[in-house]
Amino acid sequence: MQYPYYNNFYPQNQQIQTPYVTVRSEAEARNFPVGFGNVVCFKDETAPYIYTKAMGFSQSDKPVFEKYRREDNEPAPDVDYRKEIDRLWGEINSLKERRNEHNSNVSTVSPKSNGNVKPKVQHTTEFERP
């Protein structure tokens, strides 16, 4: 028995769908067309709201529009930035003091040069011709 071979069985160029339609206002979400028996979720770009619009299966059903407020589940960090900044400035100042103490303790006596050692670079103004 032969089995049929479908050359184009898998659809091409599928687009990835996002769970939300982005809108700029509640009015834009209310005016968005929704097909019968479908539900569409909207994410407001300008306000912290999410809207849903649902249509029933018959033409006599009215659309159901709901509005939800988005809230962050993670609490804000309890960091006192002023104390942290002051602590860091204290560390910077202590490092500067340590550097200044180290520089003041360094010997300022320069070593004497040895007469037998030639400098690494010799400067001449004359060129030798072959």
Q: Is residue 28 part of a domain?
A: yes
Structure tokens at 35: 């097909």
Q: Is residue 51 part of a domain?
A: yes
Number of domains in the chain: 1
77 confidence band (pLDDT: 50, 70, 90): confident
Q: Is residue 47 part of a domain?
A: yes
Q: Is residue 33 part of a domain?
A: yes
Q: Assess whether pLDDT exceeds 90 at residue 128.
A: no
- How confident is the model over 54-65, as pLDDT tens digits? 998 888 888 999
Mean pLDDT over 65-79 rounds to 83
Point out which residues pair with 40 in neighbouring strands: 53
**pTM higher than the cut 0.75:** no
Question: Cβ neighbours of residue 66 under 8 Å, at least 6 residues apart?
Answer: 51, 52, 53
- Report the sign of the C-alpha dihedral through residues 91, 92, 97, 98, in that order: positive
Phi first, then psi, for residue 12 (nearest 5°) are -100, 155
107 confidence band (pLDDT: 50, 70, 90): low
Supply the range of the domain harboring residue 40.
21-69
Q: Is residue 98 part of a domain?
A: no
Q: Assess whether pLDDT exceeds 60 at residue 2.
A: no
The pLDDT of residue 49 is: 94
Structure tokens at 28: 């834009």
Q: Is residue 57 part of a domain?
A: yes
Point out which residues pair with 39 in neighbouring strands: 54
- Residues 39, 49 contacting (CB under 8 angstroms): no
Q: Is residue 31 part of a domain?
A: yes
Q: Is residue 112 part of a domain?
A: no
Looking at residue 33, its amino acid is P
